[in-house]
Every structure is written in C-alpha cells, then in structure tokens.
Amino acid sequence: MPSYAIGLDYGTNSCRSLIVDLSDGRELGSVVFPYPSGDQGILTDPSNPNVARQNPQDYLDGCETIIRGAIEQAAEADPSFSPSAIVGIGIDTTGSTVIPVDQSGTPLGLTDGNKKNLNAQVWLWKDHTAHAEAAQITELAAKHHPEYLAKCGGVYSSEWWWSKILHLKNIDPEVFAAAYSFVEHCDWIPAVLSGNTDPHTLKRSICAAGHKAIFNHDWGGLPSADFLAKLDPALASLRDRLYTVAHPSDTPAGTLCSEWAEKLGLPEGITIAVGAFDCHMGAVGAGVKRGTLVKVLGTSTCDITVADSDVADVPGLCGQVPSSVVPGKVGIEAGQSAVGDIFLWLANNLVPDSYGQELGEKFASMEQQMRDQKPGSSGLLALDWNNGNRTILTDVRLTGLMLGQTLHTKAHEIYRAYIEATAFGALTIINRMEEHGISISEVVNTGGLSLKNATLMQIYADVLGRPMKVSRSEQTCALGAAMLAAVASGHDSLENLQQNIISYTDTVYHPIPENQAVYQKLYQLYKTLHDAFGTTGWSGSIEHVMKDLIDIREQQLKA
C-alpha cells in the first residue's frame, strides 16, 4: 500500500498544501489560500512603513481550505488514494513570526478587545519596527555575552524574536501584559493540530529557537535571566513562561486531535511533526547537503547549507544551529531581505504600459528585451537594499541605490541591473561562507523565479561562478515539511526519502566565461559601494565608480 505525507507551507501572502507519494515523490494535490486580511494578507500602518502584522484567523481558515482541497485533488489524481494512508503532516512558516498568546495559547488577536489592535496580532517576519531594540540587544550582548552574537552572525536583527517582544513592551505595555507567553508561528500550527496549545508544554522548534531566539545548549537554552533583565525586567519574568527544550523537525509534536481531524476530513492520530521555517524546510526538499547551497528565491531569499559540528562561527550570517535543517548537521542560514519584492516594486511603479498592461506581460516583455544584452552594456549598477540588508551587514536602515542612469536608460535595463544586484548580494554571502571554511560547489534554486526566469538564472550562474540547478518541485518548502513529517512518523529515513523523492529540472545553468569575466569587474564596483555605504570605518574612494561603469559599457557595446 502506498503512503503519503502532507506538507503545509505558510508564506508571507498565502498558505499552500502538498500531498506527496512517499514512494516516488508524485505530487497528488496542492491548494493555495491567499490570506484575506489586510493588503495581500499583511496588516499595515499607513503612518509607519515598517509595520507588518497578520491575522491568526487567516492561518486557521487557510489550514482547513488547503488540506480539504488537496485531499479532493489527490482523490481525483489517483483513485487508489486514501486519507487513511497519510502518515504525517509537516508545517513550515515564515519566521521570526511572533504570536502573543494568553495562558491557553490562544492568540491575543483572536480575543475580545484585541481583534482591532495591530499590536495584538501576529508580528510577521518582515516587521522592522524593532530596529532600535535590535541595536540595544546587539550592544548589550557584545558587552556581556559575545557568545550570543557569535551564533547569529554578530548582529541581532529587528526581524527576530526578542527584538519584537521588547518593542511590543515598549510601545504597548497593556498588550504585553495581556500576553502570558509568545509562540512562533511554526510552533503554533502544530500545537493547534495536535490539540495542545499550552505554552508550557507545546513543542518548540530548534530551528526557530536557535536562529531567532538566541537558544543554544552551550549556555543552557534561552539567554540568561540576568541578561534579559538588563534589557527589561519584564523579559526576565517572561523567560519562565517560555521554554527550556527545543526539538528538530524529525520529532513528533503530537498527533492529529479529534477536533481537527473532523475539520480536515482526516483520521485522528496522524503524526504532526515539529515545525520549522519555510526556507529550512525548502532546503530539505531541495536536497541540501555539505557543499550545496540552496537558494529559496521569492519575495526575499533565504540561503541554506549544512556543515559538520566543528564549523567555525561565521560573522554576518543569520545563524548556525545544530539540527535546524538536517538532523545531526549544523544548519547555516543567510539571505537577502528583498529580491522578488524589488522586481515587483519596479514593475508596479516604474515600468511604463508600453511593456504591457498586466504585470505578467511587463515581466515577459522586459525579460525578452534584456535577454541578449551583454553584461555591463547598460552602464547601470544597483545596491539590492530596498528592504534593508539581512546578510552580511544585518542593517534594516540601509536603502537601495541605482547608479549610472542616463536619459537613454530603459526599464528593462533597470530590471537587469536589479537582478545583477541581487546576484552580487548572493555572491557576497557565498564569499563570506568560504572565507570561514564553508565550501560551496553548487547552488540549487527553488521558487517561482528559478522556474520561470531563465535569464535571471543565467545571470546568477555568471555572477556566482557556479552551476545553478533548479528543483523540479514548485513546492520545495511544503515538500521538505512532508518529508520530515514522514521521518517523524517513523515511516522512513530522511536519506532514503531524499533519494526517492527529490528531482531537478533538465536544465543546469553553467557560467559563461566571457560573461563571468565582466561580472567580476562589476562585482568589484558593487563591493566598493557595498562597503562605502554599509560599513563603518570604511576608508576609500568612490569617485571612480561612475567612470568605470562607463568604460565597461563602452567596451561591451564595441565587442
């Protein structure tokens, strides 16, 4: 009898499901649920562009819709399919996406009196309101506990757990006081499905705890009460209402409870795996291993690889956490705060209708017109910091830059320059890894951009100087979640599942030597701007950058 697993992928704007046949990787059903609240699922504040919250009810409504829909599709795709053959459900979410909850584990945003209060809602990963608190945490840790920063790249981020909780305390003490505890989104959904939302006993993810909440067994779990008290005495009190243990995702969080079994049309008792963040699950679903970097290309990017336990601490990365990706290996995370978001901003705001009326038409037209352009022929160079810099500078107060525009600059040339900028940002991450002994020989890409934009992929190959593979599955995050759920259920080992399930497209993008040579020159100019605008104590000059861009442009147009 065949066996199946379900992966649930909770993204920034929607959630989706995947039912996969564990024998061969066939994807039998997948349904998307766009979050109905706010602007594309995000609750915003017109007075503060850094606010990004979500309605927890969207998560619950979405869960029911996407699982029931996927079951219907699976039954249509394979008449022999039966929900009784589902062995596990795995969950991935964005993160750090923090939920203030009451003593029962109910999100405050679902309780009377708080439904219209933005501060009581879910604090989405891309909420950057806590940049001052992040700087405070970084400064205090650097002085008293530098080991805390060593595992998260040297700088604590406004996107992460403690920054957001401290900021809530500072701006809305009443909501903070009403919150008995706080739960990551990736921990709350497994808790709901297994019927145990008690903040003291629900199982917490080592992925979330280690990468975002400064949790590490070397110092006894969460940061010390003394350290938290120096930030705010209320955080020290909160520590006892959080957790002392965190688990990898090959661990059961519980089993499907009767209430949710009835809602979903599934048998009670299916294994629910401990959750994790989307990109970490996506790396599993794309076959991450030593020497392989998985890039999850979306509105932002997350770069994931794994290393042995003796890996050195790497400054500027988002975190190094044992078993956060592949159990038994150190998960290493980096990423860029905006990639697809930059392209969408460009198309929505600056691309004229002569490229097309609809968004898809604009992108198709721009790609067609830039496809045969030579690297450097536009004379443009950009910094990819339109939503701040996540890695390696970890500074949300950095902004984007476009250099080299003339009265002849076209929209598709700007589009290409932004693609190149995001590739240069990716190369900066790889270079930092390799400077500290983490070798990257190939890059595996996932997400819609990697499947739909061949020009982007070739540019990335030329800039990174490495072969670029593309995962065949469009749902690698949900696929990785389903695979780890199968492991948690005892169905099979992760190694066997990766061998049987994971596949790649036939096209592998290899660097073109003449393009690579030009991009090496452009990257040096990018690195000059990167260091000049992004680092303190930089001493150098930038007056040559515009002229060098012109020289490269003229050489390429003559070639």
Render pLDDT for 118-143 as a digit per residue (tens, 0 to 9).
999 999 998 999 999 999 999 999 99
pLDDT tens digits, 414-465: 999 999 999 999 999 999 999 999 999 999 999 878 888 999 999 999 999 9
Residue of 242 and 155 predicted with greater confidence = 242
Could you tell me which residues come within 8 angstroms of residue 517 by beta carbon, excluding any fewer than 6 positions away?
none
Phi, psi angles (nearest 5°) of residue 451? -90, -25
Q: Which pLDDT band holds residue 516 (cuts at 50, 70, 90)?
A: very high
Q: Is 16 helix (H, G, I), strand (E, B) or coil?
A: strand
Q: What is the pLDDT of residue 292?
A: 95
Q: Is 90 exceeded by the pLDDT of residue 227?
A: yes
What's the pLDDT score for residue 399?
95
The CATH architecture to which 4-277 belongs is: 2-Layer Sandwich (3.30)
pLDDT at site 390: 85
Q: Which class does domain 287-470+512-559 fall in?
A: alpha beta
Strands, E assignment, 391-441: 401-403
Query: Residues 64-95: pLDDT tens digits?
Result: 999 999 999 999 999 999 999 999 999 999 98
Which residues are bridge partners to 100 per DSSP? Answer: 182
Q: Which part of the chain is CATH 3.30.420.40?
A: 4-277, 287-470+512-559
Q: For position 436, what pLDDT does the model report?
A: 92
pLDDT in tens, 160-187: 999 999 999 999 999 999 999 999 999 9
When pLDDT is cut at 50, 70 and 90, the band that residue 10 belongs to is: very high
Q: What is the pLDDT of residues 253-300, one digit of tens each?
A: 999 999 999 999 999 999 999 999 999 999 999 999 999 999 988 888
Q: Are 249 and 358 in contact (CB under 8 A)?
A: no
Token readout for 186 is 């990736």
CA distance 17 to 403: 42
Q: Is the pLDDT of residue 474 over 90?
A: no
Closest CA to 312 of 330, 297, 294, 285: 330
559: pLDDT strictly greater than 90: no
Whether residue 310 is predicted with pLDDT greater than 90 in this model: the reply is no
Percent of the chain past pLDDT 90, that is, above it, reads: 89
- Give pLDDT, residue 452: 85
**Residue 396 has what pLDDT?**
80
Percent above pLDDT 70 for the chain? 100
Supply the pLDDT for residue 36: 97
Per-residue pLDDT, 518: 98
Q: 3-state SS of the chain: helix, strand, coil percent to 5?
A: 45, 20, 40
Find out whether 5 and 20 touch, Cβ atoms under 8 Å: yes
More confident: 312 or 237: 237
Cis check: omega of the bond before 392, within 30 degrees of 0: yes
pLDDT at res. 449: 83
Mean pLDDT of the chain: 95
Structure tokens at 525: 């100019």
d(CA 9, CA 152): 25
Is the pLDDT at 1 greater than 90? The verdict is no
pLDDT for the residue 153: 80
pLDDT at 386 over 90: yes
